[in-house]
Amino acid sequence: MILTVTLNTALDITYRVRALRPHSTHRVSEVSERPGGKGLNVGRVLAALGHEVTVTGFSGGATGRVVRDRLAESAGVVDALVPVEGPTRRTIAVVDTTTGDTTQLNEPGPAITPAEWAAFQETYEHLLRSASAVALCGSLPPGVPVGAYAQLVRTARALAVPVLLDTSGEPLRRGVAARPDVVKPNAEELAELTGSHEPLQATRNARRRGAHTVVASLGANGLLAHTPEGHWRATPPVRTHGNPTGAGDSAVAGLLSGLVENLDWPARLTRAVALSAATVAAPVAGEFDRALYENLLTRVTVTTEATAA
């Protein structure tokens, strides 16, 4: 079983409009709702790839009940969310169908009490005992300690469970110091962590801070990986147009599934890039265009990167 953690779960709402213009009234042509938050998106993609998945994190209020009801419809995903008093947040994506651009609005999330945080940690440690790998994903809701991910990384390492961390800001900085197996920042998050805007230098610096492996997401330019086994760049053959929401989460699913299947790094990166691009072509996060994914698996380019020691 693969475990994904989403401390700040959400109900993802996607509006599609013909053209998004500030200070204007818009008619929405299509509305979709999905369980959201990075780890839930990762979990749905992993399940679609045929893996057994359990998702945990927090869920509360009427929005949380909708999230859990929708999760029950997701084949292959086991719900182990921890109930809380505060309401689960909503995220709003507005897709301009003319340009393909997406505007994202993210609520902060419920305030988590010390008792709720303690209950989650107990659930997390119990679930880890039957997990083959764990992904720690996304932002922290109010009330959760800023060092939460560092603590969760240490718990996973103590139980010898490989852990992938995908977050940003101070939670990322502290989490990296706890020595996760993989971190997957985007270029902006990596620059903020290391102070370097040159990706090769930045990935090397992030490893020096404690990460075993760093896989940097470069958007339409693919992935850059700095690992103990080597350094690679994986690039899609063409730029995919559509909704980029969830593309990074699909990349995490590709990396994590490759890890538990013992694929080599070029194969893991190929899968991650293909899934990411195929997610951009899908209407909502947590889904991917399977035909495009299978086509891209044979067309992603992986090259060795030379970098100073």
Which residues are known to be catalytic?
A: 249
In terms of Cβ atoms closer than 10 Å to its own Cβ (0-12, 13-18, 19+), residue 73 is exposed
Cβ(39)–Cβ(137) under 8 Å?
yes
6 vs 9, 45, 96, 235, CA distance in Å? 6, 14, 28, 28
Cβ(285)–Cβ(40) under 8 Å?
no
Q: For residues 38 and 9, what is the distance between their CA atoms, to the nearest angstrom?
A: 8
Q: What angle do CA 234, 285, 232 make, to 5 degrees?
A: 10
Question: DSSP H helical segments within 33-160, as ranges?
Answer: 38-48, 61-71, 114-128, 148-158
Reading the block at residue 228, the tokens are 């103990």
Q: For residues 48 and 44, what is the distance between their CA atoms, to the nearest angstrom?
A: 6
Phi, psi for residue 262 in degrees, rounded to 5: 60, 35
Q: Which amino acid is at 256?
A: L
Reading the block at residue 159, the tokens are 């139980």
